[in-house]
Structures are given as structure tokens and as C-alpha cells.
Amino acid sequence: MSNVTKTIGIIGGGQLGLMIIEQAHLLGARTVCLDPAADAPAFALSDERIVAAYDDAAALEELCRRSDVVTYEFENVPGSVLIPLEKKYNIPQGFRPLYDSQDRLREKDNARANGLQTPQYAAVDDEASLRAAVAQIGLPAVLKTRTLGYDGHGQLVMKSEADIERALPMLAVPCILEQFVPFDYEASIVMVADGERVVTFPIGRNVHRDGILDLCFVPAAEMDDDLRGRMVAAGERFMKSCGYRGILAIEFFIRDGRFYFNEMAPRPHNSGHYTIEGCTTNQFRELVRFLLGEPLQAPELVAPTVMKNILGQDLEAAEKIAAENLPGVYVRLYGKTESRPKRKMGHITFVGMTPAEYESRWAGKFVK
């Protein structure tokens, strides 16, 4: 195979990097990984490691120098640091999707400019602009920091004028006020594009708890074929319009048969973990194929699938389930050295299971 000696550089050493490396090795490639934590999960499998900060220019240069192709698995890698590297090294996704996703205002502007419908939103920098935004958008609304927010961090739901005072401490940094969408459910789409075609993974219904993904049900039974087709077409048009290549996940709010852009991530996505066992190919493998210049393969769903995120509070339950070694139940723990509540420690994929079966048989085993 032509890719036997190729080395993939990965900026970020979390669980996403770990799963990228698993697929890279299966496809005959080597990996070198950079992360600031010496005990990063991906270091357990990576052929080479670099322990350094994400904005360490010399370390990033070294990563690129050792690699035939470079990707990123962590959205908070500063997009600006990739700009000079992109001109010298093979970073096929480029800095643009990372940069576009790192500021919620820029992200929403970009979504609208490239054909996706968003909730109403407005930039907020101080109390005056917050009050103006509330007057324009109305309440309820969600105040979010524009950068470095994830898993529900940096957000405040505002329900009444009294919440303006509670929101003021957030304005120490630039924020965005977004219309609250009373959605029927949330869904996400994961795509991989090589510049000629886009392959799209089956759409799942996502359930969040405290701002963190808890469950993903695939297929999204509430979604008819018309809505599913419109979402896929819109997602593919968006990638092509933006000129994005590589992997992209988009989260949508679904309301009365319409879908509204919430946020995107130019990396493998938590909601796509089900693809490892639930599809004929998975999000990590298709990203690696893209990175190695191999033809993409279109995925098909093997069977109805449920993916359960395992946070620190559910780690013990997950370990017990893993010991049972049940057919169709795939427990994947990330090997993180410290477990704590709300930290992502692993996930379980139940292949051949409906939402109703999950609720009756498995839901009670985990912390509510």
C-alpha cells in the first residue's frame, strides 16, 4: 500500500486523537501526536509524542516536520497558529474551518452567509449592547461567550429582565446573545469531504444533559425522509460553499420540520462515535482516508444504534458492563488517569437497539 510509510501528525491527544490513531494504524499509517498533558490518552497508541502547548510554535513546527500530513482533534487549537504552517506543510483541512468555528459570532455569520438558517443573534460587549440585544431578540435567550465555550460552559439562559444583572459578570469577555429555540429535538450530521465528493453519516437524535451530550439515537426516528434529505443536502452545500475539506460535524435544532444551525466542529464528533460499530465505516476511518489521499467510502447503518456517553459518575457502571462482554454492547474507555464527574471517560455503543429498548433495559444503570 502506498500509505504504509506515511505519518499523520495530530494536534491534540484526547480521546478523539486516540480513535484517529486506531484507524490510522489499521490503514497502515504511523502517527505523531502533540498534547500539553504527558498522560494524554492518545499517547498510549501514538508512534511518537510531543508534550507541548498547543500554541508552542517550535513544537508545532516539529510536529509538522515529522509528518506527511497534519490534522487537529481539538477545536481550541488557535487557528491563527496554523496560518504560517499551512503555507509550508501539508495541512489539508487548513486553518479556515478551525478559525471559523472558534468564535460563535463569526461561526453564525459564516453559517448564514453560506446558506444555513440560524436563530436570531447579536454581538454583546457591555450592558448597553446586552439590553439592546434583549430588546431586539426578546426573551428567553441564551447568552454565550464568543470563544472557548464547550459542553455547556460559558452559557446562561436568560428568561426575564431580572437575568440581565446575573449576566453582567459574563461580559468581562465578548459575548453573543442567541434567540432561544424551543426545539423538538437536537440532531447532528457528520460529513467528510475530499474536494470532489462528500460522504455523510446517518443522522442521529442527540440528548444533552447539563450541556453535555448524553445519548445519541440512530436513526433519528422522529425525522422523516424529507427532512433528513434536506439536512443532508444543506450540510453538503455548506461544506462545498465554504470550501471545507476533511471532517465537519454540524449540530442543529429541529423545530416543526425546520432545522437551525447551532454550532459546528471541524473534527470527529462525540455524536459520531456510534459509527465505529454501528456503521460499515466510521468517522475516524474516513478522516484518515482523506488525510492519506485514499477514496472515501460511503457509510451505511448496520442496525439501529444507541450511543451512551460515559462521564466520571458512570465509570464504575461502565466497567461492570464491560466485564459482562455482552453481544452488541461495545464499551470503549479512554484510559484517562483521572476520573471526575462530568468528565468524558468513555462511551458505550449498543448496536441493534431501539430507544425504547435502551430506556427499559439500560437507562436505569446510569446516574440520572
pLDDT at 1 over 70: no
Average pLDDT over residues 90-101: 94
Residues 338 and 319 in one domain: yes
Residues 296 and 331 in one domain: yes
pTM listed for this prediction: 0.95
The percent of residues in the chain predicted with pLDDT above 70, rounded, is 98
Residues 195 and 281 in one domain: yes
Residues 209 and 174 in one domain: no
Residues 11 and 84 in one domain: yes
| CA gap 150, 165 in Å, rounded | 23
Residues 226 and 346 in one domain: yes
The percent of residues in the chain predicted with pLDDT above 90, rounded, is 92
225 domain-assigned = yes
96 domain-assigned = no
Would you say how long the chain is, in residues? 368
- Residue 358's pLDDT is what? 98
Residues 334 and 287 in one domain: yes
Instruction: Name every residue whose Cβ is closer than 8 Å to that of residue 2 and which is 6 or more positions away in sequence.
Output: none
pLDDT at 3 over 50: no
Where is the domain boundary, 43, 75, 91?
Answer: 91
pLDDT category, 150, cuts 50, 70, 90? low
Where is the domain boundary, 158, 179, 200?
Answer: 179
Residues 190 and 170 in one domain: no
Residues 346 and 199 in one domain: yes
pLDDT category, 125, cuts 50, 70, 90? very high
The residue segments making up the domain with residue 15 are: 7-91
pLDDT tens readout for residues 184-234: 999 999 999 999 999 999 999 999 998 899 999 999 999 999 999 999 999
pLDDT tens readout for residues 247-262: 999 999 999 999 999 9
292 domain-assigned = yes
Residues 86 and 135 in one domain: no
353 domain-assigned = yes
- Residue 50's pLDDT is what? 98
Looking only at the bridges linking them, the beta strands covering 185-193 and 246-255 are antiparallel
Residues 142 and 196 in one domain: no
CATH number at residue 30: 3.40.50.20
Where is the domain boundary, 179, 201, 228?
Answer: 179
- Residue 79's pLDDT is what? 74
pLDDT tens readout for residues 54-89: 989 999 999 999 999 999 998 777 777 889 999 999
The residue with greater pLDDT, 168 or 210, is: 168
115 domain-assigned = no
pLDDT tens readout for residues 318-362: 999 999 999 999 999 999 999 999 999 999 999 999 999 999 999
The closest alpha carbon to 73, from 42, 37, 49, belongs to 42
CATH number at residue 341: 3.30.470.20
pLDDT category, 297, cuts 50, 70, 90? very high
CATH number at residue 173: 3.30.1490.20
Q: What is the mean pLDDT of the chain?
A: 95
- Residue 151's pLDDT is what? 55
Number of domains making up the chain? 3
